[in-house]
Structure 1
Amino acid sequence: MSNDSCNLPLDTDTFGLTCIYGLIFSLGLPSNLLSLWGLYQLGRSGGGGCQLVYILNLLLSDLLQLLTLPLWILYLQGGHRWPYGHLTCELVGYVFYVNVYASVMFLCLIALDRCLAIVYPLSSRRVRSVRVAALSGVAVWTLTFLFCLSGLLPSVFDSDRQLCLEYYPVSPSFAHFKITSVVLGFLLPCAILGYTSAHIGVTLRRSPSLSDHERHKIVGILVVITVNFIVVFGPYHLVGGYRFVSLLLTDEPCGLERSIFLIYRLCYGLTSLNTLLDPLFYIFLCPDARLELQRSLPCLGRGQHARKTTSLTARAQPGTQGETEKGHNNLIAV
């Protein structure tokens, strides 16, 4: 199983990427669906504000990516041969790139929203509206669609070798597109994240009115966004930047492709991890959304409800439950 022009060992990434995609799909699909349900319930109750719009778009992008993972697993198990036709490859490859850069943009919008809310809480009220957030979401999707479409034309499918979204070596035009995507889709968002984090940090130090819980919540949001950028998107863009710049400068592209093939492919697979991080933090660690999930799905909060009921019963009946607990404590002491 080698590439005809560069003699690449295409089967070396099969085990690693299959494990990554299988784990992400099995955990990410239910968590994203639960997250969407929590967002829906939160929106019905009138909560969430503009962040609800950004997170909803983020989760929709994640779901698109998750639904393509079984096809990628079958592609890997089939020895890097795409059996589903030209059009399906074009669509699935397009969804991958759109998911990566739409996720990056919505993470930036969430960070900017937090910065405006903390640094300029009064003057930013008009900007931080649901209407502006919805228009921003439409703009992000439109720009991302057009940008990815310009880079993936004329095709991402190699009909001779049935490779999907793989070129060895890549064409100069595709290398230029990937270098541009590293600058606009990673380095620029990193600069925006650094700017907003610095301003939020200064404001938190100067605002004694904020409680420790509020500080921890704000810092937690920034930490997870930073982890998403550095751990999930960082390796793919940094290794990819090195790969595509080097391919434009080297006289032996196939040697470079062979030396970097496995590490680049694994970094490529790690970008799907954002589909796990997004619902894990923005929904399940968000008190409002978690409360709405417990209200709409009582089974999620049954244990907590039972503990609260027991506590209230003990307080309301000190002569029975209270004495029972006291006797139980005495037995433990003996």
Structure 2
Amino acid sequence: MATNHSNYSAFYCKFNEDFKYILLPVSYALVFVIGLALNATALFVIVFRTKRWKPSTIYMFNLTMCDTLYIFTLPFLVYYYADENDWPFTEPLCKLIRFLFYANLYGSILFLCCISLHRFIGICYPVRSMSWVSARRARLVSVAVWAIVFCCQAPILYFSRIRARDTGRVCYDTTSPELFDDFLVYSSIISVLMFALPFMVVMVCNGLMVRKLLEPGWGSDGGPDSERGGLSANRSKQKSVKMIIIVLGTFMLCFLPFHLTRSLYYSFRYLSCTLLEASSVAYKVTRPLASANSCLDPILYFLAGQDARSTLTKKTKAPSSRATSVSRRLTTKL
């Protein structure tokens, strides 16, 4: 057990990680096959079967593109880990693969955050949101998200690199040993800004949406067709709750475990090899879970694309015909 400036380092701790040479290739291959089929179907429906793009459609299209770009990198990772960490390709390709992983990870988080905010505004503030929600603004927000992701993940192109070892050339998923301290600072900042804060926003928005949807009489305007409208609103309510569950489930299953175990893995590099080995196993198990968000995101789109969406934002207990009319018009934007 060697030390580096009186601190333990993962680069000098030796432990068995042979399990990842089965776990990662198999899981990445499954994500590639399932994710490619689902995202290709979603893209086909959005591009060729959607006549009018609403804000939610724009966000889902960008989310699907984000997933598709990452999915095309998975065959390289399957080959790499199946060959037991022997990178046969160039260093620029190594950098690109690692960059696209993190771009997909944080791009998905931000676009899911946008979707949650969009639906929160439509459900909780249906009248006011008439002046806030539009396809043009959704496009501008999407461009801003892509710009933020590319700018914040650009340092990955610097940190990621390959190094020759006795067993072959390693394509680091973090960085080389001499740059790890700098990488840890960068990674910690990114985790707070692009995961912790969006996660809090998503939790608050979905919590408030659930409370609003559970209010008695939500979606009922009290008009002559209130019975039929009530049934439709009830279907929309059920679907909205399902979508909230999928969004929160994606964060809890894919993003939260990955960030928690990765933080422990990075921190334990400076404590002991025993703790590091345990955190390494947990971290490598959650990496496929983070990739699995590429399979869950299209399910969110297919659920959102039903006709029952039309009654999603009806005004709760509308006090006037104006509020009811505005709420009905708003449904054409969601």
TM bucket by the smaller chain? Answer: 0.7 to 0.9
Runs of at least 5 residues in structure 2 that lack an aligned partner in the other structure = 1-9, 220-232, 309-334
Task: Give CA deviations for 1:237-277 in whole Å, capped at 9, x if unaligned.
Answer: 01112222344xx354x554333222211211211111111
Match of 1:186 in 2: 195
Match of 2:170 among 163, 188, 192: 163
The SS at the match of 1:159 is: strand
The 10-residue stretch of structure 1 (88-97 or 183-192) with the greater mean CA deviation from structure 2: 183-192
Query: Aligned Cα RMSD in Å?
Result: 2.3
> Contact 1:38–1:283 (CA<8 Å) still a contact in 2?
no
Match of 2:182 in 1: 173
The SS at the match of 2:128 is: coil
> Contact 1:53–1:133 (CA<8 Å) still a contact in 2?
yes
State the AA in 1 paired with 2:113: C
Match of 2:4 in 1: none
Match of 1:199 in 2: 208
Distance 2:123 2:303 in 1: 23
Q: How is 1:1-334 mapped onto 2 (pairs within 5 angstroms)?
A: 5-43=12-50, 45-46=51-52, 48-150=53-155, 152-161=156-165, 162-166=169-173, 167=175, 171-206=180-215, 208-210=217-219, 211-247=233-269, 250-252=270-272, 254-283=273-302, 286-288=305-307
* CA distance 1:71–1:49, shift in 2 (3 Å): same
**Between Structure 1 and Structure 2, whose CA radius of gyration is higher?**
1
State the AA in 1 paired with 2:122: A
Distance 1:246 1:77 in 2: 27
> Contact 2:160–2:171 (CA<8 Å) still a contact in 1?
yes
The 10-residue stretch of structure 1 (53-62 or 192-201) with the greater mean CA deviation from structure 2: 192-201
The 10-residue stretch of structure 1 (55-64 or 202-211) with the greater mean CA deviation from structure 2: 202-211
Identity %, equivalent residues? 27
After TM superposition, the score normalised by the length of structure 1 is 0.78
Deviation at 1:182, TM superposition (A): 2.3
* CA distance 1:153–1:69, shift in 2 (3 Å): closer
Task: Give CA deviations for 1:6-64 in whole Å, capped at 9, x if unaligned.
Answer: 33434321111122111111111111111111112343x22x41001100000001101
The SS at the match of 2:130 is: coil
Q: Name the structure with the higher helix share.
A: 1
Match of 1:323 in 2: none
Task: Give CA deviations for 1:258-309 in whole Å, capped at 9, x if unaligned.
Answer: 33222211211211111111112312563259xxxxxxxxxxxxxxxxxxxx
> Contact 1:81–1:163 (CA<8 Å) still a contact in 2?
yes
